[in-house]
A and B are shown apart, each in its own frame.
Chain A
Amino acid sequence: MKIRLQVWRQEHARDAGRFETYEAPDVSPDMSFLELLDVVNERLVLEGREPIAFDHDCREGICGACSVVIDGRPHGPRERTTACQLHMRSFPDGAEITLEPWRASAFPVVKDLIVDRSAFDRIIAAGGFVSAPTGSAPDGNALPIEKENADLAMDAAACIGCGACVAACPNASAMLFTAAKASQLALLPQGQPERWRRATAMVARMDQEGFGSCTNHGECMAACPKGISIDHIARLNRDWIHASLRAGRRTATSGDSAGG
């Protein structure tokens, strides 16, 4: 296969950046998209030019490191497929493919196609956890969980934090990520004690990071390599409204004075 790439090249965060064209005349249809970039980069290195910087790690579709907008779609044209699991047979011979980084002010470009996604880590740090004693695994079925809720929580937990939702969103909103990370806990009994505080804290952090506001386009769901549903966004909205209406309204008057 012959492939022509239009690749976004940017030296560093403050560089203006530009597109450059690269020819790949000897592409196997069985290569993954990242392997194509490896081959292009090997040639660039041999020619003494700077290779294209791109994020990658497991190359098994489970780590969420790869993050390239391929021909106008995050992770490329195939549904529920990360860039590393996308193969060149998905493209016609002679295709001209545009490669861009995730575009969001909350995800500043580090170099070329690599962006800094630590804003996601800070949203998790704001409340995407359960404050529970860890230790040995609890006995099976000691804590009854409705089957439907367990399944929905697993759907939400499939999020690999790649950021394709932000990249696909016309508003650069992080609602699908935030909703998935809140929902995976909101649906389980362990997540209940901190459920309302979590919803407000994670949304506040998301806003603070400078992500846009969700207008319910649904592009995030279509781009998500794990197919996470925007139903989780509705759940987070519901939890946030509940938390905001309830905040400060319930105050115990006597409490437990024993041992005081």
Chain B
Amino acid sequence: MSAQAPTAPAVARATSALSSTIGLKVVMAVTGIALFGFVLGHMAGNLQVYLPRGADGVWALDAYGEWLRELGHGGAIWVARAGLLLAFVLHVGAAWALSRRSWAARPVSYAKWVAKESTYASRTMRWTGPIVLLFVVYHLLHLTWGSAHPDFRTGGVHHNVTTGLAQPLACGVYVVAMLALGLHLFHGVWSLLQTLGLSHPRYERLRRCAAALLAALVVLGNLSIPIAALAGWLPR
């Protein structure tokens, strides 16, 4: 009995927090950190496509993929997938709820409106977000399930990447998506710090620079792979 008593107010607190715009924004910020962390880790893993075959003749990327699938007796990858899916659903759901509020808040738009402080990245968040969402679906069909891949081999990660991204159309999709992701992160990384209240005038420049640097890092690292694949620079 006594253990049950605190649950109801906790649930009530959580629902009231999520009905607030700031509560939803905190959800976006926290899930944004999780998704951004995944993007960095995913990129670090993928850059192994530049490494040669190991002594046993197995591509470094294939060995890494195998390691990921075996980690924690094959359980870790599912925990990570479940966490990512949850973060993704919460991020998109909160974005949808907040966007709807904002659209309803200005039913008549201005005949003339001049931007002064906002950036191209900040104004296109509601475009770059859906672009990245569509890309993730394509990316999973392309390199996880392989149904959108012309010559998919289960476990042959290196082969799938080098052949799949060598197609100009697929390569183009990846390039566009990574540029959109870069814009999304440039505003998102700075914006989540602001939402979580982590601001101080002394570190304002640092916040902007960190966001620009991290976005550039992700764009350059991730763009290099499809471009190198198309140009035939990846080890085969």
Task: List chain A positions with a Cβ less than 8 A from chain B.
Answer: 6, 8, 17, 19, 69, 71-73, 98, 100, 103-106, 168, 170-173, 200, 203-204, 206-207, 210-219, 221-223, 229-231, 233-241, 244, 247-248
Contacts and interface: CB of A to CB of B under 8 A. Distances in A.
Interface residues of B, number: 46
Interface string B95-131: 0001001111111111111111111001101000000
Contacts of B101: 207, 212-213
Q: Main SS of the interface on chain A? A: mixed
14 contacts: A17-B108, A72-B114, A104-B105, A170-B123, A171-B105, A212-B102, A213-B101, A213-B102, A216-B190, A222-B117, A236-B197, A238-B198, A241-B26, A248-B13
A171 B199 CA distance: 22
Contact of A216 (B23, B26, B191): B191
B20 interface: yes
A238 B116 contact: no
A221 B39 CA distance: 32
A173 B103 CA distance: 11
Contacts of A170: 102, 106, 113, 118, 123
A238 B198 CA distance: 8
B22 A215 contact: no
B9 interface: yes
Contacts of A231: 199-201
Given A212-B104, A213-B24, A240-B22, 19 more contacts: A69-B112, A72-B110, A103-B108, A104-B106, A106-B105, A170-B102, A170-B113, A172-B106, A173-B105, A203-B22, A207-B21, A212-B101, A217-B118, A217-B122, A217-B123, A219-B118, A231-B201, A234-B194, A241-B22
B114 to A, nearest CB: 4
Interface of B: 9-10, 13, 17, 19-26, 98, 101-119, 122-123, 125, 187, 190-191, 194-201
Nearest to B122: A217
A251 B105 CA distance: 38
Contacts of B119: 217
A216 B111 contact: no
Given A213-B25, A214-B21, A237 B196 contact: yes
Nearest to A204: B20
A23 to B, nearest CB: 19
Given A204-B20, A237-B194, A244-B17, A218 B117 contact: yes
Most buried by B among A103, A104, A213, A223: A213
Given A170-B123, A213-B102, A214-B25, A222 B116 contact: yes
Nearest to B195: A237
Contact of A223 (B9, B112, B116): B116
A218 B118 contact: yes
Contacts of B194: 216, 230, 233-234, 237
B7 to A, nearest CB: 12
Contacts of B25: 213-214, 237
A6 B123 CA distance: 27
Contact of B197 (A19, A221, A237): A237
A33 B123 CA distance: 30
B118 A172 contact: no
Nearest to A230: B194
Contacts of A241: 22, 26, 196-197
A188 B71 CA distance: 53
B117 A213 contact: no
A250 to B, nearest CB: 13
